[in-house]
Amino acid sequence: MGMGDRMVVWWMVCGIVMWAWSGVEAQGYWETVVDNAGISTMHAAVTHYGNVVLLDRTNIGPSQLALGAGVCRDNPADRALTHDCTAHSALFTPGSNAIRPLMVQTDTWCSSGQFDANGMLMQTGGDADGVSKIRHFTPCGGGGCDWVELDGGLQEGRWYASNQILPDGTQIVVGGRGSGTVEYVPANGRGTYDLPLLYKTNDAQMDNLYPFVHLLPNNQLYIFANRDSCLYDWETNTVVRDYPTIPGEPRNYPSGGSSVMLPLSAAADYGNAEILVCGGAAFGAYMNPGGQPASQTCGRLAPLAADPGWAMETMPTRRVMGDMILLPTREVLIINGAAGGAQGWGNAENPVKTPVLYKPYNAAGARFQTLAGSPIPRVYHSTANLLPDGRVLVAGSNTHQFYTLAGYLPTELRIETFSPPYLGAGRPNFAAAPGGLKYGAAFTATVKAAGAKNIELNLASAPFVTHSFAQGQRLLQLETGAPVAAGGGAFTVASKAPTTAAVAPAGYYMLFPVADGSVGNAAWVKVG
């Protein structure tokens, strides 16, 4: 082979490598940021300090994360280890990737939670000694914050329930194993109230657990369980209407589908609420494990429409126990899960390692894009949370009753981040951003985004993620005027805060600058 031929071959190889690398970037990329967190994350939530609360159950025996010199947890009610010097909760700090152990006393297995208006994480229920517990975690940037277990508890035991913060600042806690009621925390004199939907949907394998609860912009709740749903007035504790049954399989735990309310937009006066439900498991996959194929469908419903009905779509792959994350670009990331089986010990089959991007504003049939896959399976008891730098934090996966670090689908202690395609070169960033937003009030932000034609300011909540559902998740596209050049590649953007607490309940949110589809680091803002 002559020199000319070798040069042609060399350029061909370079071209192939460059094409392959570009393809990976276009599909996002993964990074393992912690090789051993010491605990397997069952629940996760991002605080307004940017660090992440990780939680597992307590009655599993020792974890691999020590509580610290001379610190132990003594709990005579623990089923596995009454004197335990290891942690079952931790605080993870992105960037430094540091892990700090936290002390949680009662069992948080399959519990629920949400941040309140002041950024405190309120955590409710669990199993055994934790079933009626209320716990608080007040975030901090240093090493002083830890879990506090309250003396008062829930009015009814809640295991596999869902929480949603309300416009009045309280949280509704919906359902749970053996429960057909809702209650409020703090109760403020309110009791427990029957929710007919939960009795109607309680089939032989209890497919109504971890119900999907979304606060609609009309101040009412959309609640979905199994395959049915209703509109619920939390102020009068009455069902306003029932919706058609979604076609296909059961969608809630243990059948493990997921749901989001698609982003609300100021351009539609925040009245454009649509619910998306994706995945699930064949009925009986939990009672008779055998790797039955998971659901491959998504359903989309406009709950405030005059005559709402389900519009069905087909995902690129079957998926059960996946997570759905609203991204700053107003798209939905469907990540984690398996192609068969159901949630529960050892029930996962054929892990799905490739996330899918759902583009809600594309035409039907052109909404799904398959992204880069991870080498690590993430099935039962895994989590996915949006970080303020735009990455998605992925942790957990334990399909065993106890920590099992060998064999098929071992307990996963590694933490990864997934960087979506919008985190490429030339990202925008804030030169100036507000620290707080008052309902309906105008504000301005300065965004550095050289050459940008379109700049969005999108507001994302920080949900409590567990069991394939991000409790309290919402994203708003704020009103913005045309960017005004401010020199040095920066633009001033005039905007307006959300209009009401039904659109955005009071609390801390991540405000993301998005320039021509590229996403910058968020600024934390307090709304209310």
The token duo for 190 is 């309110």
Give me the phi and psi of 7, to 5 degrees please.
Answer: -65, -40
pLDDT in tens, 61-120: 999 999 998 999 999 999 999 999 999 999 999 999 999 999 999 999 999 999 999 999
**Is 469 within 8 Å of 259 (Cβ atoms)?**
yes
pLDDT in tens, 306-332: 999 999 999 999 999 999 999 999 999
Sign for the CA dihedral angle at 84, 88, 89, 92 comes to positive
pLDDT in tens, 220-260: 999 999 999 999 999 999 999 999 999 999 999 999 999 99
How many other CB atoms sit within 10 Å of the CB of residue 343? Answer: 27
**Whether pLDDT at 181 is above 90:** yes
pLDDT in tens, 26-54: 899 999 999 999 999 999 999 999 999 99
**Is 294 within 8 Å of 274 (Cβ atoms)?**
no
- 429-527 to CATH, choices 2.60.40.3670, 2.60.40.10, 2.40.50.100, 3.40.50.300: 2.60.40.10
- Alpha helical stretches, state H, 441-484: none
Question: Which of these, 97, 42, 41, 45, lies nearest to 507 by C-alpha position?
Answer: 45
The token duo for 518 is 């590229």
How far is the C-alpha of 339 from the C-alpha of 113, rounded, in Å?
28
pLDDT in tens, 396-412: 999 999 999 999 999 99
Spatial strand order of the sheet with 382-386 comes to 29-34, 415-419, 392-396, 382-386
**Whether pLDDT at 3 is above 50:** no
Question: Which of these, 196, 258, 259, lies nearest to 231 by C-alpha position?
Answer: 196
- With a pLDDT cut of 90, the percent of the chain lying above it is 93
**Whether pLDDT at 59 is above 50:** yes
Which element (helix H / strand E) includes 200?
helix 196-200
Q: Which residue has the tokens 């990329």?
A: 29
**Whether pLDDT at 340 is above 80:** yes
Q: Which residue has the tokens 């035991």?
A: 157
How far is the C-alpha of 526 from the C-alpha of 528, rounded, in Å?
7
Question: Which of these, 288, 285, 330, 337, lies nearest to 315 by C-alpha position?
Answer: 337
Confidence (pLDDT) at 26: 85
Confidence (pLDDT) at 157: 97
Give me the phi and psi of 125, to 5 degrees please.
Answer: 75, -160
Name the 3-class secondary structure at 356: strand
Confidence (pLDDT) at 18: 30
pLDDT in tens, 195-204: 999 999 999 9
**Is 171 within 8 Å of 116 (Cβ atoms)?**
yes
- With a pLDDT cut of 70, the percent of the chain lying above it is 95
Encode burial over 414-427: b for 16+ CB neighbours within 10 A, e otherwise.
bbbbbbbbbbeeeb
The domain ranges of the chain are 429-527
Biggest CA–CA distance in the chain, Å, is 88
pLDDT in tens, 411-425: 999 999 999 999 998
Which residues, 6 or more positions from 307, have their beta carbon under 8 angstroms from its beta carbon?
none
Confidence (pLDDT) at 344: 95
**Is 180 within 8 Å of 192 (Cβ atoms)?**
no
The token duo for 471 is 């409790």
How many other CB atoms sit within 10 Å of the CB of residue 275? Answer: 23
Q: How many residues does the chain have?
A: 528
Average pLDDT of the chain? Answer: 94
**Is 171 within 8 Å of 185 (Cβ atoms)?**
yes
Query: Quick one: 482 exposed, middle or buried, by C-beta within 10 A (0-12, 13-18, 19+)?
Result: exposed
pLDDT band of residue 445 (cuts 50, 70, 90) is very high
DSSP class of 309 = -
How far is the C-alpha of 388 from the C-alpha of 49, rounded, in Å?
10
Query: Quick one: 192 exposed, middle or buried, by C-beta within 10 A (0-12, 13-18, 19+)?
Result: middle
Which element (helix H / strand E) includes 447?
strand 442-448
pLDDT in tens, 435-444: 999 999 999 9
pLDDT band of residue 17 (cuts 50, 70, 90) is very low
Average pLDDT over residues 359-387: 98
pLDDT band of residue 12 (cuts 50, 70, 90) is very low
**Is 504 within 8 Å of 527 (Cβ atoms)?**
yes
- The number of CA neighbours under 13 Å toward the Cβ of 64 is 15
pLDDT band of residue 516 (cuts 50, 70, 90) is very high
Phi-psi region of 354 (alpha: psi -120 to 50; beta: other; left: phi over 0): beta
**Is 123 within 8 Å of 106 (Cβ atoms)?**
no
**Whether pLDDT at 496 is above 80:** yes
**Is 466 within 8 Å of 121 (Cβ atoms)?**
no
DSSP class of 141 = S
How far is the C-alpha of 296 from the C-alpha of 247, rounded, in Å?
12
Instruction: Give the helix, strand, coil percentages of the chain, each rounded to 5.
Output: 5, 40, 55
Which segment of 27-36, 69-78, 293-302, 519-528 scores lowest on mean pLDDT? Answer: 69-78
pLDDT band of residue 145 (cuts 50, 70, 90) is very high
Cut 0.85: pTM above it = yes
Confidence (pLDDT) at 22: 33
pLDDT band of residue 25 (cuts 50, 70, 90) is low
